[in-house]
Amino acid sequence: MTDPSARPDLDELLGAMGAAGARISEIDASEAGAGNISVLMGWEVDLGELFPETEPLTLPVAAPALAGHTLLVTGSGRRLRQIAADPLANVGAVTVGDDGHSATLHHHPRRLFERLTSEFNSHLGVHDDQVARRGIDFQAVVHAQPPHLTYLSHLAGYRDTRMFNRRILRWEPETVVSLAAGVGVLPFLVPGSAEMMAANVAGLRDHEIVLWSKHGVMSRSDISVTRAVDRVEYAETGARYEYMDLVAGGRGEGLSDEELRRVADEFGVETTWI
């Protein structure tokens, strides 16, 4: 999003975060306070009107590529389904300092959270890595806990990335088009840990969505917040079909490799999963 005229303003981004939170909730991917969203803005942002109160913040990990950048981040324990009704109560704005480690948390007086999401280190790590590698100035990152994707990751055979992708991409032609890079499958790692963050950052270099085994998913998009949610929804739909087939005794054919290749060729999709 390098064209300044295409940059959304704060109200638009908060509205998009609200819509994203509502959709995640609608597909049962965010029970209670589960799930979190962050949005990176690599341009100067006037936060004073919407986020007039400030306090110093030490980032959980160094993010030198984000120096001077601003992130909108959901608060810990806040329900994603409630963002739309009052985004200023549920979202904080973080401006990263020149040293890439200190920051300022901007918030509204109606703030309802004590701290930012417990997965903030993974969000920061992904934003920092993508900015450093690709020079992007906008990115949305979404963590959700879709039930069918999470369930499949409890089955040992589905924790193999190649096998997992071949199984979920076979149910709808749209899936291989929308998830051409596939879903990266990570092993179980403790939520919020440094190991989780490192594996997540590495996984999201090659994929636009990764499955955190026995936990949930994280997706990214440098187009829009809703596009990041779309990736969760496409992956979850494939996982739901796969679960249905398991329950039915594995009787569904699914799309063959040849059929998937025809779809990919028709839409100009390059993928390694066929």
CA angle 84, 151, 26 (to 5 degrees): 20
Strands of 138-144's sheet in order across: 53-58, 102-107, 91-96, 70-74, 36-41, 138-144, 216-221, 209-212, 183-186
Which residue, chain included where needed, has tokens 């992130």? Answer: 71
Domain map of the chain by residue range? 4-266
Backbone angles phi, psi at 100, to 5 degrees: 75, 10
Q: What pLDDT does residue 274 have?
A: 83
Rounded Cα distance, 259 and 240, in Å:
21
Contact criterion met (CB below 8 Å) for 208 and 184: no
Q: For 8-64, give the secondary structure using H, E and C.
A: CCHHHHHHHHHHHHHHHHHCCCCCCCCCEEEEEECCCCCCCCCCCEEEEEECCCCCH
Question: What confidence category does residue 244 fall into, taking pLDDT thresholds of 50, 70 and 90?
Answer: very high
pLDDT of residue 1 exceeding 70: no
DSSP state of 219: E
Using one digit for the tens of pLDDT, what is the confidence trace for 211-239? 999 999 999 999 999 999 999 999 999 99
**Residue 45, φ and ψ in degrees, nearest 5:** -130, 130
Q: What average pLDDT score do residues 20-31 get?
A: 96
Residue 214's region, left for phi above 0, alpha for psi from -120 to 50, else beta, is left
Torsion of CA 20, 126, 129, 45, to 10 degrees: 50
- Tens digits of per-residue pLDDT, 106-132? 999 999 999 999 999 999 999 999 999
pLDDT digits (tens, 9 = 90+) for 174-222: 999 999 999 999 999 999 999 999 999 999 999 999 999 999 999 999 9
Is the model's pLDDT at 246 over the cut of 80? yes
pLDDT-based confidence at residue 152 (cuts at 50, 70, 90)? very high
Domain 4-266 has CATH 3.40.225.10: yes
What would the mean pLDDT of 27-55 be, rounded to a whole number? Answer: 95
Residue 156: pLDDT band by 50, 70, 90 thresholds? very high
Task: Catalogue the long-range contacts made by 114-117 (C-beta closer than 8 Å, 24 or more residues apart).
Answer: 114/75, 114/76, 115/75, 115/76, 116/73, 116/74, 116/75, 116/76, 116/92, 117/36, 117/38, 117/73, 117/74, 117/75, 117/76, 117/143
Question: Over 80: is that where the pLDDT of 98 sits?
Answer: yes
Q: Which of 97, 72, 77, 70 is nearest to 20 (CA)?
A: 72
pLDDT over 70 (residue 2)? no
pLDDT digits (tens, 9 = 90+) for 51-97: 999 999 999 999 999 999 999 999 999 999 999 999 999 999 999 99
- Residue 220 pairs in a beta bridge with 141
